[in-house]
Chains A and B, each alone.
Chain A
Amino acid sequence: MRMSPARVWRERGARYRLEGSKCKRCGRVFYPPKPACPYCGSLEVEKVELPKRGKIISYTIEYTVPEGYRHLAPLIIALIELENGVKVLAPLTDVKPDEVYIGMPVEATLRRVWEESDEGLIVYGIKFTPTTS
């Protein structure tokens, strides 16, 4: 896998702050952000920060994990519906596989996602954990 500093910097909004897009025509909010609305086709959208809490709609427990992520195995990947109805796909962390269920309340947290090497680039991003309060 290759990663460039420019790319990590360019993609920071969605990955660090859970930034999505809001369509200026139909008003729909979605994630990941895009320069056009996938629902009404409008080319006019604006950035919005999304709520950090939601619940799990579906998930998988990944046992065969790609190179570079094996220290995380088994890796749990979930589709989460945020409080405003927007969906986000992200890994879960600080939770055991047998504790996860559909409907589980979760909240976003910033974590290390991928490391190039001991001295290389580090990609950070949003992961979700069970809601604490």
Chain B
Amino acid sequence: MAKIDRHYDKGFQELVHMAVKNLVNDVKLFSPEAIVVGNMMSSSLFQQDSLAALVADAVGLRGRGGFKVEAACGSGGHAIAAGYALVASGLYNQVLVVGVEKMSDYPTATTTAALAQAADFEHEAIYGASFVALNALVMRLYMHRYEAKREDLAIWPVRMHEYGSQNPYAQLRNRITIEDVLKSAVIADPIRLMDSSPIGDGAAAILLASEDVARKISDTPIQIAGVGMGSDGLDLASREDLLNPMSIRMAAEKAYKMAGVGPRDIDVAEIHDAFTITALLSIEGLGFAGLGESWKLIKDGRFAAGDKPSINLSGGLKARGHPVGATGVYQVAEIAMQLRGDFPGVKVGKAEYGLAMNTGGVATLTTVTILKR
């Protein structure tokens, strides 16, 4: 992992190089046969496609084939699913999965215009609806249906900043208060600046290997026990229920079934909290709380460090940061480190099962990855 920041001095290759160098030191034999890249905006912001070749040359892997996976902010999780399939099929023994995103080179309006491509252009963005606005509409519906107060929904970002402050890879390492959240600028009512993940650059890398190879190259391999994907309507209007995204339910169901576990077995999780409302929908969609219950449980102190599951000890997208196409790879790397016991921030303690959930759009394309020690 590379620390998420506004890396004005680093391009795609320098960021990838930084992340992979850390990874190489973790294994005895680094010899990937293919590369999968999770990235959203290289095309829209940097006029650059063919990203796997750029990544290969950043880490001396010219010759190895690969491709980029795009699923908006969920690109990283989907890259892992694709990399997993390449290994599980027997096609390759070692696959390098890299998530990388550059977001800070341009004025915010340029970056957010590219981010808006995650939503339906023809029926939403064309009307001037920003990505924040679409999430805000969901948040208002949540507060209305479940009678949650604005201040109740300010607890989450405060907790994320507390954890982020202890994570050396996090972009935002300052602590904030409920008052800070409630006084921050309104972006699209009821979403405020402090409900929103920051803009930053980052890269994270993981090495996927077949079981026998993994045991040879690492003393502490972590098993991928379950992988699931799901989708919901690209447009919000035709969704069955905006507060119960089908993509999360489908991805979770598949991953739990494959791993042979359920929500109660998960010790530690990294979930997608691009906005405070996204955290609530994710916690409920994964089965950690019933529909409309997550905000009450968070208020009661649930899902904090020491609870089962402990959620977003990295600081989450809110504080660790959200270099969109890279985020899903950060999450899986963080969970792997938590299970090994060497995560450099807030630790979960003894843990057997971990879960990473990453989504693109307004919970439009979701992956759930379950890891086992």
Contacts and interface: CB of A to CB of B under 8 A. Distances in A.
A66 B123 contact: no
B132 interface: yes
Nearest to B235: A32
For A1, A14, A58, the residue with the greatest tally of chain B CB atoms inside 10 Å of its CB is: A58
Contact of A60 (B126, B144, B188): B188
Interface of B: 109, 112-113, 116, 120, 122-130, 132-134, 136-138, 140-141, 144, 185-191, 233, 235-238, 240, 242
Contact of A66 (B130, B134, B144): B130
B132 A62 contact: yes
A14 B123 contact: yes
Nearest to B127: A91
A67 B106 CA distance: 14
Contacts of A38: 233, 238
Given A32-B235, A66-B113, A89-B129, A58 B140 contact: yes
Contacts of A57: 141
Contacts of A125: 126-127
A95 interface: no
Contact of B137 (A65, A79, A88): A79
B238 A34 contact: yes
Given A62-B136, A66-B109, 14 more contacts: A1-B113, A15-B126, A60-B134, A64-B112, A65-B128, A69-B128, A72-B128, A77-B128, A77-B129, A77-B188, A89-B124, A102-B140, A114-B128, A125-B126
B189 A61 contact: yes
A87 B235 CA distance: 11
A87 to B, nearest CB: 5
Contacts of B188: 60-64, 77
Interface residues of A, number: 40
A28 to B, nearest CB: 10
Nearest to A64: B187
A31 interface: yes
Contact of B130 (A15, A64, A114): A64
Interface of A: 1, 11, 14-15, 30-32, 34, 38-39, 57-69, 72, 75, 77-79, 87-91, 97, 102, 113-114, 123, 125, 127
Given A32-B122, A32-B235, A38-B233, A67 B141 contact: no
Contact of A89 (B109, B144, B185, B236): B236
A67 B137 contact: no
Contacts of B112: 64, 66
Nearest to B145: A58
Contacts of B124: 89
A38 B120 CA distance: 15
B150 to A, nearest CB: 14
B276 to A, nearest CB: 14
B195 to A, nearest CB: 12
A87 B233 CA distance: 13
A90 B124 CA distance: 7
Nearest to A79: B137
13 contacts: A14-B123, A32-B235, A58-B141, A60-B133, A61-B188, A66-B112, A66-B130, A67-B113, A72-B128, A89-B236, A89-B237, A91-B127, A91-B128
Nearest to A87: B237
A123 B112 CA distance: 22
A38 B364 CA distance: 14
Given A32-B238, A88-B237, A63 B187 contact: yes
